[in-house]
Amino acid sequence: MSEAPVEVGTEDVRAAPRRTGVKHFDVIGSLTAIFISAVSLYVAIEHGKTERDLVAANVWPFPREILSNGYDNKGTIAIGVSNGGVGPAKIRSFELSYDGHPVASGLDLLRRCCGLGSTPAAVKSQLPNGIRYSIADETVLRPAEYNPVLRVERSATAPDVPDRLGVVLAKVSFRVCYCSVLDQCWLSNLKNTRPEPVRECRAPEHPYDPNGR
């Protein structure tokens, strides 16, 4: 039995690659080994990307708009955001517009669209059942969770403002930036299925204050 070839250095002795003694075979063997190593590295990288994509898919959020003129059995009108994805949605910024113009609050929206008065007395008389607010930005929506940022309950004694709001819901639009738990972020109008990927969510240009006047 022949002994394995070795290479002797100044500090150690190590195994040397076997050679056939035929120059072309040795070159082909070396190139084949390099090729196999490169293919293995490529497969490992692609496998890693696939694993990351699978993890991202398992925590993918998908916020959608809430525009409802029959949110509950009282016929409440609701505007807000829900999460139709399979992972939590971190809502970083939330902007709301009416007829293409940003609104600062729920009361601001009702004044622009529906003739709501500007004084507390007018609000009380036109909305005897009041309105309900909810914060949207810097919140986390679980999968299948709903967050109506504005709810207006109908009233038999003062139906004008709620009825007008129910008619013009199609003119309400959104601009929302949200992230997954992996900090992958998107900018969305909550309508289409192709939100815009962004590196990070910036502060909203026109913040929506649910408690604003």
Collect all residues with Cβ–Cβ distance below 8 Å to 132 and sequence separation of at least 6: 148, 150, 151, 153
Q: Which of 46-60, 79-93, 122-136, 186-200 has the lowest mean pLDDT?
A: 46-60
Cα–Cα distance for residue pair 74/52, rounded to 1 Å: 45
**110, pLDDT greater than 80:** yes
Percentage with pLDDT > 90 across the chain? 67
The position carrying tokens 């207006």 is 152
Can you give the residue ranges of every domain in the chain? Answer: 13-58, 63-198
Amino acid at 176: V
Cα separations (Å) of 134 from 8, 49, 111, 211? 76, 39, 19, 8
What pLDDT sits at residue 213? 80
Q: Given a cut of 70, is residue 188 above it in pLDDT?
A: yes
- Residue 34's pLDDT is what? 75
pTM of the model: 0.75
CB 134 within 8 A of CB 79: no
pLDDT recorded at residue 211: 84
- Residue 5 CA to residue 64 CA, distance in Å, equals 68
* Confidence check: pLDDT of 17 > 90: no
Q: What average pLDDT does range 7-33 have in this prediction?
A: 60
User: Mean pLDDT of all residues in the chain?
Assistant: 86
| pLDDT per position as a tens digit, 167-179 | 999 999 999 999 9
Which residues, other chains included, contact 115 with Cβ-Cβ below 8 Å and sequence gap of 6+?
A: 126, 160, 161, 164
51-84 per-position pLDDT tens digit: 665 665 688 999 999 999 999 888 899 999 999 9
- Residue 116 predicted with pLDDT over 80: yes
CA distance 103 to 95: 8
- Both tokens of 190, joined, read 């909550």
